[in-house]
Structures are given as C-alpha cells and as structure tokens.
Structure 1
C-alpha cells in the first residue's frame, strides 16, 4: 500500500487532477503521465488479489483511479488513431501495457444485466446508474469500442422494453441491424465489393489474423496506385479491426 501511495504522489506531480490530463501541453508531458499511471496499475492489481483490500486504505479513491484510467485509455486511442494517419509521435514506441487493465468480469453480458436493474429504478436513480454504466464502459479496454453502440441502445431502445428478461435478445437484434448498416456504410465509404468485404471479415474472425494487404486491395472496386496502396490498405485494415471490435468481439460474452 505504501508503494501505491508513493506512486500516486508521483502521478499527482504530473497531473494534479484528472482534468489536468486534458491540459498537458506536449507529448513529453503526455508520456510522463502514461509512465506515472502505468506504475500504478500493477501495484493496484497486486492489492486487488487480497480479499481484505479496499480503496479506503489508500490515499487515492476508487473513482479517481477509474477516472485517470479513462484518460490513460483516451491517450492510447489517440496514439492508435495517429498511427492510422501515419503521424509520427514519440508515444508510438511506448507500451501502454493494456493487459494490466483488462478486467474479465466486465463484458457485454454484465452491462446488459446492469441495464435490466436500471429499469427498476426511479428517474433520479436511473440517471445516476446510467452515468455509472457509461463510466464502466469508458474505463474498460474491451468495452470502449462499443461505448457509442451501447449508449444508443440505452437511449433509443431501452425505454421501450417492458420485460427486462428481453434486454439481451433486443440488444442482439439492435447490434445485428447496426452491424449490417456499418458494413454497408464502410463498403460505400471505401468503394469496396460488399461480398468480398464480408469474406475478408469472415477470414479475419476465423484465423484471428489481420487481412493481408493484397486481400484488402483485392476487395476494392477501384484499386489505388502503387504509391497509395500501403496507406490505403492500412487505413481500411484499421477500419476492419475497429468494426470487429465494435460489432463482433465480446458481443456474445
């Protein structure tokens, strides 16, 4: 616990508040934050293995840890997005060690269970619980890609579901519709052959290996010139990975 508290003090020297992460002026400052928070993660994981552990014993509150973790993941998303744009960053080579954050107990099934409990609460309690659910999604590496999808389901579909036992089935129907729309939209956006596109996704799911450049170029209705092929293939591949993360991975969990 002493080590955790000392590491927390080092984090506060870099970012005194959660909001101060947004005001970091340079990539060097962002790297200092990443390194400082990364020091906390394994220490927290060790403490969590003890059943008597609570955040009451630490100088950092649990909500504060989750809020900083969300900012940490925001930076990871930013670096990944920059990589897609081929923008060089000193953060490219830093290991975010996301395996230290992954929480197996948080999955889509768990979120749907929380949504079922949400329906039984009054308006004020619903608002608080809805915010808590969104915070859980934002702070989890496996669910972040599904945040917009789940939020839309909460806003558009949840109010019309009377039987909470039907929430998982209704969510599955909702996701299937959104998945079909996303495939159509992505195909049109990148001018892809829809049949070939669906096959590439199927092969990716089966092999668990990202599609080869030639396979990506092969599903384009209009192939780019040689100079643009690499960047085009990488852009489309990143969209395929995001599509799978959002609409397929973990949905049946």
Structure 2
C-alpha cells in the first residue's frame, strides 16, 4: 500500500508545487478519466488506486492554496471538476465506512482518506442564512443567483456535518423560496420547512422500523437536550416487537446506526 504523499512547502515555489499537482492530476485521470468513472471501479484494487491518487491530489491542492501567487488557471483541472471528484471520493468513503460496499475485513477499511484536506471550510447557520437571503433576493434565472447557489453548494459539500443535508437545503431553494410570502424572512421559512421535513422523516422512520413512537420521541428529546447521540442501551425500548436472542445483537447494532444517522441528518446545530 502506498503511503501518504508528503510535500514539503519550505524551499519550493508555487510553480514547482503546481507542476507536481498537475502531474498527480494526470495520474488520477489514468485511473478515472472523469469523475463519473469512479462509479465504474468495481474491484477493491481499482478503488484503492483511485483513493491513493486522489488523496495525493487534494493534499497538493491544499498546499497550493497557501501560495498567494497560485494561478488556478494554470492547473490542469478546473475547480468545479475538482469538486465533482471530491463528491465521488466522499461517496466512496461513506460506502466503505458504512459497510455497504466492502466486507468487514477489507483492506479499504484501513485506508486513510485524509478528509481534513477536503473538509476545510467551516459552515455555520448564519452564513447559510446569508447566502439563502441573497439567493431569495436575486431574480430566479439570473447569473447572480446561479453563482450564489454554486457557492452555497460548494460550502456544503466541503463540510462534514452539512454534506448530508445538502439535498434538503437544495429542495428548500427549489420548492420553498418561490412560495415565500411577502414579508416572510428566509429564517422563518427555512425553519418551518426543516421542522416539517424532519417530522415527516421521523414518522416514516418509526413506521418502517416498527418503532414505539413515544419511545422514539424520548430519544429525540434527549438528543436535543444533551447534544449527544443515544447510547446503545437507550435504543432498546424502541422496537414494538423485540427481536429473538439469536439476532438481537445484530438487530440493535443496526437500529443504533440508523437512529444516529437520521438524528444527524436533521440536526442543524453546528
């Protein structure tokens, strides 16, 4: 397995860093000519090659951004394409670490994805509201609105906590902003939208998992108050029908993960 590429900034120029960056991008494209090619990587060996190659790309890109004379136009990959690759990279990370793409003993589980080089912009609610206000104020088909939406999407995709909420925020932009009442603030409209989406998702989750609604409410209230995910023993009262001893451990582990996932998705605290 290749080790992480280590780049020394001391004693090097931005041109040297850029040349190395462009070289790494070229190596990446030998494995995945375009970002959609990542979906075609079926073998673990192929996925590992992509992870290692793109990891080098993002490390070097992080280094390049430290140079004030870095000219993005001299890079062989445009910013939006790099963001598209990042999205595929994070999707692969999620599949591997959630156990949906590889076996438990897979070598991919031990790979360092170096996500800190991707998730470097810290997004807060105030900044999101500011951008949403600007989007709402701009004409629907204007270049200004398109740029603001692209900026918001880029920020969300680069934030570990907000990444999984991106589809809901986009839904608010597409469906709710055009319906906002005169004088209604974006904050109020967004809160109403988010609370409704959250409640609907909770109701569906309880129905699909056959959970006791009142017990699930207790878990949610405790999560809101303590700002921590539930402990394993706090999940046990949730199912209406208790699993047999034979499958109990696996069942509750799965339910614990699903509960944490839905709580995280609809939590806007940052």
- TM-score, normalised on structure 2? 0.78
**Which of 174, 189, 193 does residue 174 from structure 1 map onto?**
193
Match of residue 31, structure 1, among 18, 27, 48: 48
Is the CA contact 2:122–2:159 (under 8 Å) kept in the aligned structure 1?
A: no
2-side partners of 1:48 and 1:199: how far apart? 46
Q: Distance in 2 between matches of 1:122 and 1:184?
A: 33
Answer whether contact 2:210 2:239 (CA < 8 A) is retained: yes
Partner of 1:10: 27
Of the two, which has the highest radius of gyration? Answer: 2
Q: Kindly state the Cα deviation for residue 192 of structure 1 after the two structures are TM-superposed.
A: 2.0
Aligned CA distance change for structure 1 residues 66 and 233 (closer, same or farther; 3 Å): same
1:3-23 residue CA offsets vs partner (Å, 9 max, x unmatched):
322322221221122222222
Paired residues, number: 251
CA distance in 2, matches of 1:126, 1:234: 47
2:80 matched to which residue of 1?
63
Which TM-score applies when normalising by structure 1? 0.83
Moved more, 171-180 or 158-167: 158-167
Unaligned runs of 5+ in 1: none
Which residue does 2:208 correspond to in 1?
189
Question: In 2, Cα distance between the equivalents of 1:9 and 1:75?
Answer: 21
1:98-247 matches, cutoff 5 A: 98-119=115-136, 120-125=138-143, 128-129=146-147, 132=150, 133-134=152-153, 136-161=155-180, 166-204=185-223, 210-247=229-266
> What is the aligned-residue RMSD (CA, Å)?
3.0
Q: 1:97 aligns with which of 69, 90, 114?
A: 114
Bigger RCO of structures 1 and 2 (CA < 8 A, at least 6 apart): 1
Q: Does residue 53 of structure 1 match 2:70?
A: yes
8 Å CA contact 1:179–1:247 kept in 2: the answer is yes
Are residues 84 and 21 of structure 1, via their aligned partners in 2, closer, same or farther at CA, if it must alter by over 3 Å?
Answer: closer
Identify, as 1 or 2, the structure richer in helix: 1
- Name the residue aligned to 1:74: 91
Aligned counterparts of 2:93 and 2:104: Cα–Cα separation in 1:
14
List per-residue Cα deviations over 1:27-75 (Å, max 9, x = no partner): 2211211111111222222222334434224332212211110110111
Q: Is the 8 A contact 1:118 1:129 kept in 2?
A: no
Contact 1:70 1:138 in 2 (8 A): yes
Please, which moves more after superposition, 66-75 or 157-166?
157-166
The answer to which of 62-71 and 98-107 deviates more is 98-107
Q: Which structure 2 residue ranges, 5 or more long, are not aligned?
A: 1-16
